Amino acid sequence: MREFSEQELVRREKLAKLHALGLDPFGQRFEKSDYAQDLKDKYASVEHDAFESMDDQATVSGRVVLIRKMGKASFFTIKDKTGTIQIYISINDVGEDCYNLFKSADLGDIVGVSGKVMKTKTGEVTIKCLEYTHLVKALKPLPEKFHGLQDVEERYRKRYLDLISNEESMKVAFMRPKIIRSIQNFLDNQGFVEVETPILTTLLTGASARPFVTHHNTQDLDMYLRIALELNLKRLLVGGMERVYEIGRTFRNEGMDTQHNPEFTMMEVYAAYSDLEGMMDLTEKMYQEIAQKVCGKTTFHYLGHDVDLSGKWKRISMVDAVQEKTGIDFKSITSVEECLRLAEEHHIVVEEHQKSFGHILNLFFEKYVEETLIEPTFLYGHPLEISPLTKKDPEDPRFTQRFELFISGHECANAYTELNDPDDQLERFEAQLKERELGNDEANDIDYDFIEALEYGMPPAGGIGYGIDRMVMLFTETESIRDVILFPTMKPIEMQHKN
């Protein structure tokens, strides 16, 4: 049997009284015409005395978040999706029965108000209530400190309380779709078309990551939740769609931290007849347009640093970046043995499947360079071994035409001049299988259908993948991916108790 707190019992007694009065405690449709912030903006410059000659009416609804009862007249504040607005209610205006109904209200109840717009002597836009409508009885009290639910775990588990309590969380929740809409508008205006591709797949391809595995009962078939969007979008290039993008949920069976959630939103963009440079230009323009049109600025405080998105962004090769930090010129190294010796000298652990030039170069980059890339930086020239879907550098086949975008020391995008040689692609897939045999559980499968698609001919192309959640983190200046995902993955409470 459920146990209720003293406050909850009092609220349930009020619930019973509403039933006795013939009122629906959980309300019916209510026609609102106005929102709190719109009214405050509209009347912000109107002087207090000017309202005497005005008869502007407004109808609002929202959650009661503050009550100041003063005998036969009271003030209370309601909160809607735009913010809060003050209400003045008097027994002389609404009558005794209605005023008594108001006096039984608790913080958290949802009500409707119609009345005249006015301003208090302190200059606060207020609605003088002429009609009061009870809509919903809240049976649980709001968190102790309405202005800021402090328990971080509680905020993420009970996002509804977080949105009620924290203005910043509500702001981020509304900013995210604006950012995504801005991305879509930008790409649509560049001649791209948005498409949808399957989430369930039978092959592990498109990225290096551990998958979630599920099972299709009817076909008795194990399947993966996709780890990337890439190969299906490139099939569309083969089909002639030329410029495509997808924004969709992607799943990787990996750890959780401030930068990673197992279920996240990715966008991949592919442009036939483009290349690595084209993806750099596209990315700069898109970020700068979002910054200006959605946020109205180009400098953002992100992960402890102020970063400026304006102008041309830095471009540097992985080899040059490592040389700047360590003095080692990997382009001049010709043997794996020398790479292993350097790794040992620098106390870098090399796994069995990483004993190659490319993997060791990347390990040096991760140790000495990655966290130092604060201003927006296109890091290009990734080694072949870690880039199985990328065209080789024609000047040095040990490297590929790939870049990653780093901001505040974290990766924000990953781009290629796409590999469209079917024989080369098959060799790369086969190399991935060998890595899996050596212990790389993130290696790709061979997608023979994709190889066949390439044999029909895919145009030269540029492609790029963006982490939408990290992009939203940047533009909303938030520190954790859980702040920009409304319902982040959380360990069940019962499991926490066991631990």
Q: What is the pLDDT of residue 437?
A: 86
> Under a CB-based contact definition with an 8 Å cutoff, are residues 396 and 416 in contact?
no
| Degrees, nearest 5: CA angle 410-307-375 | 55
How many other CB atoms are there within 10 angstroms of residue 190's CB atom?
14
Name the burial class of residue 255, with classes exposed (0-12), middle (13-18) and buried (19+) by CB atoms within 10 angstroms of its CB: exposed
Homologous superfamily assigned to 6-142: Nucleic acid-binding proteins (2.40.50.140)
For residue 223, give Cα distances in angstroms to 75, 145, 204, 212, 357: 58, 46, 9, 9, 34
> Under a CB-based contact definition with an 8 Å cutoff, are residues 383 and 253 in contact?
no
> Under a CB-based contact definition with an 8 Å cutoff, are residues 389 and 233 in contact?
no
> Under a CB-based contact definition with an 8 Å cutoff, are residues 234 and 242 in contact?
no
What single-letter DSSP state applies at residue 435?
H
Taking the C-alpha atoms of residue 441 and residue 213, their distance in angstroms, rounded to an integer, is 14
Q: What is the pLDDT of residue 150?
A: 61
Taking the C-alpha atoms of residue 91 and residue 99, their distance in angstroms, rounded to an integer, is 5
For residue 406, give Cα distances in angstroms to 32, 119, 461: 46, 50, 22
Q: In terms of DSSP H, where are the helices of 270-369?
A: 276-290, 318-326, 336-345, 357-368
Taking the C-alpha atoms of residue 424 and residue 389, their distance in angstroms, rounded to an integer, is 9
* 490: CB partners within 8 A, 6+ apart: 153, 156, 157
The model scores a pTM over 0.75: yes
Q: What is the pLDDT of residue 146?
A: 45
Q: What is the pLDDT of residue 440?
A: 81
> Under a CB-based contact definition with an 8 Å cutoff, are residues 252 and 210 in contact?
yes
Select from 264, 197, 228, 241 the least CA-distant residue to 416. 228
Q: Which residues of 71-98 are buried (b: 16+ CB within 10 A; e: fewer)?
A: eeebbbbbbbebbbbbbbbbbebbeeeb
3-state DSSP percent of the chain in helix, strand and coil, to 5: 40, 25, 35
Give me 294's structure tokens: 């959605």
How many other CB atoms are there within 10 angstroms of residue 53's CB atom?
6
Q: In one letter, which amino acid is 441?
A: D
Q: What is the pLDDT of residue 1?
A: 76
Return the CATH number of the domain spanning residue range 164-313+375-498. Answer: 3.30.930.10
**Looking at the chain, how many residues does it have?**
499
Instruction: Show pLDDT as tens, one digit a residue, over the chain (499 residues).
Output: 789 999 999 999 999 999 999 999 999 999 999 999 999 999 999 999 999 899 999 999 999 999 998 889 999 999 999 999 999 999 999 999 999 999 999 999 999 999 999 999 999 999 999 999 999 999 999 987 544 456 788 889 999 999 998 999 999 999 999 999 999 999 999 999 999 999 999 988 877 788 999 999 999 999 999 999 999 999 999 999 999 999 999 999 998 999 999 999 999 999 999 999 999 999 999 999 999 999 999 999 999 999 999 999 999 999 999 999 999 999 999 899 999 999 999 999 999 999 999 999 999 999 999 999 999 999 999 999 999 889 999 999 999 999 999 999 999 999 999 999 999 999 988 988 888 888 887 777 899 999 999 999 999 999 999 999 999 999 999 999 999 999 999 888 765 545 4
Name the burial class of residue 496, with classes exposed (0-12), middle (13-18) and buried (19+) by CB atoms within 10 angstroms of its CB: exposed
Residue extents of the structural domains in the chain? 6-142, 164-313+375-498
> What is the pairing mode between strands 193-194 and 243-251?
parallel
Give me 10's structure tokens: 């009092």
Taking the C-alpha atoms of residue 372 and residue 408, their distance in angstroms, rounded to an integer, is 8
> Under a CB-based contact definition with an 8 Å cutoff, are residues 253 and 212 in contact?
yes
